[in-house]
Amino acid sequence: MRIAYATVRGFGLAEDDLVHAVRALRATLVGFVGLEHGGHRLDTALLTTGLTHRAARR
Protein backbone atom coordinates (compact mmCIF):
# COMPACT_ATOMS: atom_id res chain seq x y z
CA MET A 1 0.00 0.00 0.00
CA ARG A 2 2.91 2.35 0.60
CA ILE A 3 3.92 2.09 -3.04
CA ALA A 4 0.37 2.86 -4.18
CA TYR A 5 0.15 5.93 -1.94
CA ALA A 6 3.58 7.12 -3.03
CA THR A 7 2.60 6.74 -6.67
CA VAL A 8 -0.69 8.59 -6.28
CA ARG A 9 0.90 11.38 -4.24
CA GLY A 10 2.94 12.20 -7.33
CA PHE A 11 -0.24 13.49 -8.99
CA GLY A 12 -0.56 16.28 -6.42
CA LEU A 13 -3.98 15.25 -5.11
CA ALA A 14 -5.40 16.55 -1.84
CA GLU A 15 -5.00 14.20 1.12
CA ASP A 16 -8.77 13.51 1.18
CA ASP A 17 -8.65 12.35 -2.44
CA LEU A 18 -5.67 10.03 -1.95
CA VAL A 19 -7.75 7.24 -0.43
CA HIS A 20 -10.18 7.27 -3.34
CA ALA A 21 -7.40 7.38 -5.91
CA VAL A 22 -5.55 4.48 -4.28
CA ARG A 23 -8.77 2.44 -4.15
CA ALA A 24 -9.38 3.12 -7.84
CA LEU A 25 -5.80 2.18 -8.70
CA ARG A 26 -6.02 -1.02 -6.67
CA ALA A 27 -9.38 -2.00 -8.19
CA THR A 28 -7.99 -1.41 -11.67
CA LEU A 29 -4.90 -3.51 -11.02
CA VAL A 30 -6.84 -6.34 -9.37
CA GLY A 31 -9.34 -6.36 -12.24
CA PHE A 32 -6.62 -6.37 -14.87
CA VAL A 33 -4.69 -9.18 -13.21
CA GLY A 34 -7.89 -11.18 -12.81
CA LEU A 35 -8.75 -10.82 -16.48
CA GLU A 36 -5.23 -11.63 -17.60
CA HIS A 37 -5.21 -14.69 -15.38
CA GLY A 38 -8.40 -15.91 -17.05
CA GLY A 39 -10.53 -15.63 -13.96
CA HIS A 40 -13.44 -14.00 -15.78
CA ARG A 41 -15.12 -15.60 -18.74
CA LEU A 42 -18.00 -13.73 -20.36
CA ASP A 43 -20.68 -16.01 -21.74
CA THR A 44 -21.21 -14.30 -25.09
CA ALA A 45 -24.12 -16.58 -26.02
CA LEU A 46 -26.00 -15.49 -22.92
CA LEU A 47 -25.14 -11.86 -23.57
CA THR A 48 -26.28 -12.05 -27.19
CA THR A 49 -29.50 -13.82 -26.24
CA GLY A 50 -30.23 -11.21 -23.58
CA LEU A 51 -29.62 -8.32 -25.96
CA THR A 52 -31.73 -9.91 -28.70
CA HIS A 53 -34.58 -10.52 -26.27
CA ARG A 54 -34.41 -6.96 -24.99
CA ALA A 55 -34.40 -5.48 -28.51
CA ALA A 56 -37.42 -7.60 -29.47
CA ARG A 57 -39.45 -6.17 -26.56
CA ARG A 58 -39.04 -2.60 -27.84
| Cα four-point dihedral sign 16, 20, 21, 22 | positive
- pLDDT, tens digit, 9 for 90 and up, residues 35-49: 777 765 666 665 566
Number of structural domains in the chain:
1
Full-model pTM: 0.58
What pLDDT, in 10s, does the model give residues 11-35? 999 988 999 999 999 999 988 888 7
Rounded to an integer, what is the distance from CA 8 to the centroid of its chain? 17
Q: Is 27 left (phi over 0), alpha (psi -120 to 50) or beta?
A: alpha
Domain assignment of residue 18, given as a range = 2-57
The dihedrals phi and psi of 17, each to the nearest 5 degrees, come to -85, -15
CA–CA–CA angle 40, 41, 44 (5° rounding): 145
